[in-house]
Structure 1
């Protein structure tokens, strides 16, 4: 595993773990790396110094480095929106399009949901009159 410090085209800095340097390169080339704060797809690696501890301190646990906190009013507003959505909605993951369609067609109980959809799925929902809207953030994902 390798941790990279990343920066998006909107100047948001964050860290992320990857299986290897090659895994990062292939994920980025496939468009699967985006900003953890705003979702921008243009992300680049920052220069990093390796975290090397002298042997005498190897047994001393080091504190975890938190992801960057929202700095601007816009970032704070997006963070507040994320908290509101996560507290009052059900995350349905990659089943978002199917769940939204079931609710629209009356086949499932209406409730507040959020999740992920491919662009063509989202476009089809909108064309079919299903009331959906994009969120200005990506869902939190569990890391291994």
Structure 2
């Protein structure tokens, strides 16, 4: 598994995502399966990132100190509320265009990935093991950030 820092062209929003390999990232990007979680832009590219070099096993790791005065204003509680509201609004916008597949989510995602199904968006349920297997196979899937009530549970 490899993690990439990504950014979108529309808003230059930075985010990270995990992929099975560089080839998996390239394939998913070419098929338009990667979207910016902030604005939904699918014109996504790798961002410049510093490599993570592990410390020697015999060295004590010390967490970096953060000077509260140096924390940017952008991380204010008000901004975080706006970001979460934006995520909820984007999810609410996309759900009506998405098809509920229930417990068949993993199978439906695999069918889409393999080209056996032509759907744009699906949502459903998957066990942690099913989600990990999709991830291990390079199949783009992520949890909904705002919980929803399944259609068959609404009375």
Q: How would you bin the TM-score normalised by the shorter chain?
A: 0.3 to 0.5
TM-score (norm 2): 0.44
TM-score (norm 1): 0.47
Larger helix fraction of residues: 2
